[in-house]
Amino acid sequence: MKKELIAVKNRIKKLKDKKALIDEELEPLFIREEELENEEIIAICRKNNITISDLMAKVNRQKAEMKKETNYEKSR
């Protein structure tokens, strides 16, 4: 094999290894980020006297409205 091809293959392998390590380190950070966001949502709800069930009901209503709009757009 040519030296350049070997060098490129080695560089690709090195970058793939780095990517795997980064992905491994990112996963717990994404999980922690989600936990912190959830805690913040709960704190805001408590501060504003909103129960989680009230919040979920609102989210479900909005999802239903979005679904209706999507179906309406598709039927046009």
Q: What is the mean pLDDT of residues 27-41?
A: 96
Reading phi first (left if > 0) and then psi (alpha if -120 to 50, else beta), residue 62 is in: alpha
Looking at residue 70, its pLDDT comes to: 86
Residue 74 or 48, more confident:
48
Give the range of the structural domain holding residue 40, as residue numbers without chain letter: 3-75
Is 52 a residue whose pLDDT tops 90?
no
Looking at residue 1, its pLDDT comes to: 76
Count: domains in the chain: 1
SS3 19: helix
Q: Write out the DSSP string of the chain.
A: --HHHHHHHHHHHHHHHHHHHHHHHHHHHHHHHHHHHHHHHHHHHHHTT--HHHHHHHHHHHHHHHHHHHHHHHH-
* Confidence bin at 15 (pLDDT 50/70/90): very high
| Cut 0.85: pTM above it | no
